[in-house]
Structure 1
Amino acid sequence: MTTPRGDCAEHTPDSPASAGTTGPRRVRTIGFGLAMLAVLFISVVLRPGATSLGPVLAEVSSSLSIDESTSGILTALPGLMFGLVGFIAVRMGQRAGLSLTIALSLVVVVLGLVLRPFSTSFWGFMPLTALALGGMAVGNVLVPAWIKRHGGLHTVALMTLYSMFLTVGGSAGSGLASPLAGAAGATGALGDPADGWRWALAFWGVVAAVPMVLWLLVARHTGHDFPGTPAQDRPDRPLWTSPTAVFLMILFGFQSMNAYVQFGWLPQMYRDAGLDANLAGTLTAVVAAMGVIGGLIMPTVIDRSRTLAPWMIGFGALTTAGWLGVLIAPAEGALIWSLLLGVGGFAFPTAISLIPARSRQPHVTARLSGFIQPYGYLVAAIGPMAVGMIHSALGNWTLVLILLACSGVVLAVAGLRVSGRIFVDDEVQA
């Protein structure tokens, strides 16, 4: 049984007795208040660096003389960096500890986000963008493992906070970009009004400084807190041998792909159906807003439900119905389709919350997060690029929408496989 932890109490990793663990370390825990603030603030800043670029991409391209094909590289960069850097995040955490690695990743995020707006060419802007996204990728992988490591009795509450404010931060990044750029341009803060986008992007680097300070404080309290591995006759098998891990990765990847397509292409689909740009943006915001609700309720649903099967079937069915609606009657039922896609998008906070929920030991949670998210984000990165290529080749959205509707079936099948209380630990240690 987990017992409440007080500030600066010391414990040994993963079990009441440190015997039977490799490399046991004395780890100091932190109070729930500091843990809550740390999780809240980092969840808010792990998405805006990516989502704030799209709304001002035209201004960025004009200022930096970037052509349309090069702009496509920037739109694909979040998924690619989240995937590629995610592969090394767990190893970084093993070396420096979860808390310190997360803190240092935020230092990288702040530097990248603050410096990139002042680039004068694509060749300065892109590496700094990649740097910031790489820092976010480390946080993506390690924060769920950190919550499993330090959450104790508050694990569900912290996962609820994390999954909900990931969506809030992503929505704020896209929603505030244009207003911030317009306000900065109107005041002439950067000289040329056309350079207002620079402040809109730099703003999130300033915001990220708050969790950076918090996590440096957390790291000072916890010390090296990467969970030790319990001694076993045989080491854990690779995660690809765990059906639960594989299907959870598929669930995460396909839902993330849907989300990237929704934020990147759904507004254009609605505009091509005759809706004006503001309404198309509002309808896309409805999808994002539903994700906040999903982040609020799904961690508790997972904790209290014996099976998630009805939910998983529902997520897949609603995703399929939403995309078919956009295909058949995009303008007439636009609000309905956005609501359906938004509720189907509850699969994303579900997948995030299942990482600690489908693993018992913190070191397995860390490995699972380092497996699911990198591969999942690489799958997700393919989606927007494929959509653009198919639409460009055919000149319409029909095949794209049929394929997206089929992705709802994949979501349901993968979700059913992870809907029961099956633990990855049992599959890799058998």
Structure 2
Amino acid sequence: MTPSSRRAVGPLLAVIAVGLLALNLRPGATSVGPLMSEIVADYGQGAVASGLLTALPCLTFGIVGSLAVPVARVLGLTGTVLASFVLVALGLLLRPTVDGFGLFVLLSVVALLGPALGNVLLPAWIKQHGGTRVVGLMTLYSVVLASGATAAAMLAVPLAGGEADGWRHSLPLWGLIGVAPVLVWAVVLTRTGHDFPPPPPEGQVQGRILRSPRAIALTVMFGMQSLNAYCQFGMLPQILTSEGTSPATAGVVVGVLSAFGIVGGLIVPTLVSRSRRLPWICAGYGVLTAAGYVGLMLLPQVSPFVWATVLGIAGLAFPTAIALIPARTCAVAVTARLSGIAQPLGYVLAAVGPLVAGGLLDATGSIPAVLSFLALTGVVLGVAGFVAARPGTVDDDLALRATPADGA
């Protein structure tokens, strides 16, 4: 399809496409956690297998996400999303049917390919095709992403029906739902054709993304927020129960953290586009992150819902970092490249966090040591967020640091 023969992606089709994709970016990962013990037991595995499945989303998002931009250069933004979600649907439908744990892991990786690529490419796609609706589509993306993650986690156990092998009936549901974005994005592809943005015109600066301090800061911000999110979902219940909170209450506390992601998705993209105090707001996320952990450490007698609220507000750093990718770039090609650096490297950083926190707990047996480490990451988050949110764009940074050898 030639550029002149492409048709615009209309508002309704854009909303449906973005909404369905966002809905399917997390269930493949979050539907496994609540059923982890049943899955691992069914395959005759132990703690190592649980750790592998827990780390798999971060590792896949980091490694495969780094390939998103090169693949999209060949297939286009829309074509890459479509092809990857065909694999997602197949992976999600097939993995509960296999008898070997190795095959289950392999199909889990296949099921995570679409989210790994979609994480990176969707902000650039919205920048490319959203027109005047970029803020609205980013809002939709953030809200539905958080809602899909929460729904998959909450429904996983009820859908299993309490049976020993009920997980094999629960997990395929997300594969059936995953067929919907394949159908819709096939329609989108007929309108967009190969839609990877062309390089900037000759004479316009390109340069390496990591020459931009803003890009580095956004990568660190994204990584520190994701690190905290995975540590909270994986370790916060254990921390709370060690301090006397019941397991049921600890689960509700984690649910409160997830709910803030939905609320944040509604307000953050508009905040990013309009607020003149955004650097200080991003610095505040770091302060609140540190304060939440310090509160859990020094004032455990205070209701855990208080500290969950503090950490939940701090968790708005995630939709903020996502919204900053298109907001702090001009050229769509720069948006894609920034997303292709910030998110994969950020997820690699995020994968390190649970390993360090778990290592500290094993070595010291001290919950305060873990909380101190996490509070320190909050400080890093605040500093990085302040730099990333300053007025200006990555394009400006690259122009200032251009050299004759710079290229795409």
* Fold shared per TM-score above 0.5: yes
Partner of 2:93: 114
Task: Name the SS of the counterpart of 1:194 in structure 2.
Answer: coil
Partner of 2:53: 74
> Is 1:261 aligned to 2:240, yes or no?
no
Partner of 1:139: 118
Equivalent in 359, 368, 379 of residue 398 of structure 1: 368
Partner of 1:18: none
> Is 1:162 aligned to 2:141, yes or no?
yes
> Is 1:338 aligned to 2:336, yes or no?
no
Structure 2 residues not aligned, in runs of 5+: 401-408
Structure 1 residues not aligned, in runs of 5+: 1-9, 13-24, 186-192
Alignment of 1:221-300 (within 5 A): 221-233=191-203, 236-300=206-270
Equivalent in 173, 177, 181 of residue 211 of structure 1: 181
Task: Name the SS of the counterpart of 1:319 in structure 2.
Answer: helix
Residues of 2 paired with 1:308 and 1:213: CA distance? 38
Structure 1 pair 113–220 and aligned structure 2 pair: CA distance change class (3 A): same
**1:328, CA displacement in angstroms?**
2.1
Q: Give the residue type in structure 1 aligned to 2:42.
A: S
> Is 1:126 aligned to 2:105, yes or no?
yes
> Is 1:359 aligned to 2:359, yes or no?
no
Between the two proteins, the alignment pairs up a number of residues equal to: 400
Q: Give the residue type in structure 2 aligned to 1:144.
A: P
**1:410, CA displacement in angstroms?**
0.8
Q: CA RMSD in A?
A: 1.5
Residues of 2 paired with 1:57 and 1:158: CA distance? 34
TM-score by length of 1: 0.90
Task: Name the SS of the counterpart of 2:66 in structure 1.
Answer: helix
Residues of 2 paired with 1:99 and 1:135: CA distance? 12
> Is 1:370 aligned to 2:349, yes or no?
no
Structure 1, 385-394 or 67-76: larger mean CA deviation = 385-394
Task: Name the SS of the counterpart of 1:28 in structure 2.
Answer: coil
Can you list the C-alpha shifts for 1:243-272, whole angstroms capped at 9, x where unaligned? 111000000000011111111111111111
Task: Name the SS of the counterpart of 1:360 in structure 2.
Answer: coil
Residues of 2 paired with 1:11 and 1:323: CA distance? 54
Do 2:357 and 2:373's aligned partners in 1 also have CA atoms closer than 8 Å? no
Using the aligned pairs only, state the percent identity.
46
Alignment of 1:15-34 (within 5 A): 27-34=6-13
> Is 1:315 aligned to 2:285, yes or no?
yes
Structure 1 pair 415–26 and aligned structure 2 pair: CA distance change class (3 A): farther
Structure 1, 291-300 or 309-318: larger mean CA deviation = 309-318
Alignment of 1:42-53 (within 5 A): 42-53=21-32
**1:234, CA displacement in angstroms?**
6.5
Do 2:324 and 2:389's aligned partners in 1 also have CA atoms closer than 8 Å? no
Do 1:119 and 1:125's aligned partners in 2 also have CA atoms closer than 8 Å? yes
**1:429, CA displacement in angstroms?**
3.2
Can you list the C-alpha shifts for 1:375-419, whole angstroms capped at 9, x where unaligned? 000000111122222212222211110010111111110111122
Structure 1 pair 273–415 and aligned structure 2 pair: CA distance change class (3 A): same
Do 1:65 and 1:121's aligned partners in 2 also have CA atoms closer than 8 Å? no
